[in-house]
Amino acid sequence: MTAALPDSVRYVKNGRAGQWWKTAKANGQIHLGWRDIPDAQLRTSDLETIEGLIRAQFGNKSGATQDFKALRTLLVNPSQHVWVTFQDGCMWWCTVRDEVETNPDIETKERGHFWLTCELPWSNYSMDGKRHLVKSELPGIVAAVAGYQATVCEPTGWKEILRIIRNEEDPDALIAALARQTYEDAVAKLVARLGDKDFELLIDLILSRTGWGRLGKVGGPTEGIDIEVENVSSDEIAFVQVKSTATQAVLDDYVSRFNAQRDRYDRMIFAVHSPKGVLTPPTGQFVSVWTGKDIARRVVKLGLGDWVSTRL
């Protein structure tokens, strides 16, 4: 399906302030105006006559050139473009057939003077249906197209628009993601080499930077490191267990201790950089397990990579 999508994009506005959008969306059409251009010239794509009519009306003003270019784009093989518009807080896209249809009523509040019929109907989702094209979540160069005043034009960010509609990764973003993953893997190795005190301090830093403040420390070195932290914004107290290594049996033991003190603790965090086997928290309980990769991801996200490096 992706291969069938045209490699060209045009922005279109369905009437002043999108007045014909409701009809265009419902009927799978693009509605346009230009009421002074005769129907016959529109249906036959008589560009010479159309240009003459526009020049006679506007002379050599820039608006005349823009109008003619817009009409030429609409009348000459419009199927070669993906058409986009912005309505209801989203970017919508479609493809069209080449023939135009004129309005027997010339132009009304509900319908334009003429329209193109969609081949692929208007959609505010990517082609695979996985990405909702909400304007606030689009790159700036794409979202800026919503402010265009022209009825028809080639948007500056047309390549980005195609990539988003196809739900393809940005090449530079993909390179950055791979580099980030490589860095996280390297940080995970560094975290695994931290001494007990430095590892405890790292977990403390992660907690504090995510809204958890330490209340105190209980227990001793033979029993592991137990920390109490509080999140004032959510009015929660958490029980935190920090260990360099642990098995499922050790996790289960601390989960039972947590459950025995649910009158005080709202959740439990079990942080271990080198687990022995897979550690699985119980379902349906407020228990989070942070292993080496989880901790490394938080380290990178919170900008603690340099801090970990200096401890070694």
Question: How is the chain split into domains, by residue range?
Answer: 2-168, 173-310
Mean per-residue pLDDT, 69-74: 91
* Contact status, residue 96 vs residue 118, Cβ threshold 8 Å: yes
Least confident segment among 108-112, 228-232, 306-310: 108-112
Mean per-residue pLDDT, 154-183: 88
* Contact status, residue 117 vs residue 95, Cβ threshold 8 Å: no
The predicted pLDDT at position 220 comes to 47
CATH number of 173-310: 3.40.1350
* Contact status, residue 228 vs residue 239, Cβ threshold 8 Å: yes
Residue type, 77: N
Alpha-carbon span 207 to 199, nearest angstrom: 12
Least confident segment among 94-98, 203-207, 214-218: 214-218
The predicted pLDDT at position 218 comes to 53
> For 215-226, what is each residue's pLDDT tens digit?
876 544 434 457
The predicted pLDDT at position 168 comes to 86
Percent of the chain with pLDDT over 90: 61
Least confident segment among 4-18, 220-234, 259-273: 220-234
Burial class (CB in 10 A: 0-12, 13-18, 19+), 43: middle
Q: How many CB atoms are located within 10 Å of the residue 307 CB?
A: 14
Residue type, 30: I
Closest CA to 188 of 306, 302, 289, 293: 293
For residue 248, what is the enclosing H or E element?
Answer: helix 248-260
Positive or negative, the Cα torsion across 278, 279, 283, 286? negative
The predicted pLDDT at position 224 comes to 47
pLDDT band at 160 (very low <50, low <70, confident <90, very high): very high
* Contact status, residue 270 vs residue 241, Cβ threshold 8 Å: yes
Its pTM stands at 0.62
Residues forming beta bridges with residue 191, ordered by sequence position: none
Between 241 and 223, the higher pLDDT residue: 241
The whole-chain average pLDDT of the chain stands at 89
Alpha-carbon span 204 to 308, nearest angstrom: 13
> For 29-40, what is each residue's pLDDT tens digit?
999 988 888 888
Residue type, 299: V
Residue 173, CB half-sphere, CA atoms under 13 Å: how many?
7
Tokens (6 digits) for 167: 């739900």
* Contact status, residue 121 vs residue 94, Cβ threshold 8 Å: yes
Model confidence at 240: pLDDT above 50: yes
Between 172 and 82, the higher pLDDT residue: 82
The predicted pLDDT at position 223 comes to 47
* Domain 2-168 sits in CATH 3.10.590: yes
Alpha-carbon span 146 to 150, nearest angstrom: 10
Q: How far apart are the first and last CA of the chain?
A: 52
Model confidence at 2: pLDDT above 50: no
Model confidence at 96: pLDDT above 90: yes
Model confidence at 64: pLDDT above 90: no
Alpha-carbon span 303 to 180, nearest angstrom: 12
Model confidence at 198: pLDDT above 70: yes
Closest CA to 153 of 55, 299, 13, 1: 13
Model confidence at 72: pLDDT above 50: yes
